[in-house]
Amino acid sequence: MENENILVYPSQFDPQVNVMVIFPGHEKYDEMKPLFDEYGFGFIAPEESLVIINGDILGDDDDFDIDILRFIEAHELGHFMLEHKTRNPEDEKDADLYAYILLGGKGYDNAQKYLVDSFEERHGEPFDKVMIEKFK
């Protein structure tokens, strides 16, 4: 990984979807950077069943944050599973709510806590469990 600066694996939330984490230093990173700047931590390429995540926000090898990666992966899978075509505040919130369910299903408590703790900052209102009812 250190040498290639890229990580590709089937998503643990849906093995049909591949997750690609690109780190600075990879030949494609500069090409991807404007998309990360526009879409945030990551984005989906639905026609390729691919989630692409900005490795730069996950820390260095020494303090690589697996919980943040799980959260972002679940959030992007949320966009994918909810078949979002656009990025608006409502879609972003729904992707987080769906991610909450995905993370809970895998027992990823720390990643779920990160989602809950950052929810208000991201969406302007505190997380409330009642919000996920519509996905059940």
> 83: which residues sit within 8 A by CB, 6+ positions away?
46
Q: CB of 127: closest distance to Zn ion in angstroms? A: 16
- The smaller minimum CB distance to Zn ion, of residues 14 and 92, is found at 92
Q: Which residues bind Zn ion (CB under 5 A)?
A: 92, 95
How near is the Cβ of 9 to Zn ion at its closest, in Å?
Answer: 20
Closer of 51 and 108 to Zn ion (Cβ): 51
Question: Vertex 47, ends 92 and 105: CA angle to 5°?
Answer: 50
Which is it for strands 6-10 and 18-22: parallel, antiparallel or unpaired?
antiparallel
Task: Evaluate whether 88 touches 95 at the Cβ level (below 8 Å).
Answer: no
Beta carbon nearer to Zn ion, 24 or 89: 89
Q: How far is the CB of 98 from Zn ion (least distance, A)?
A: 10
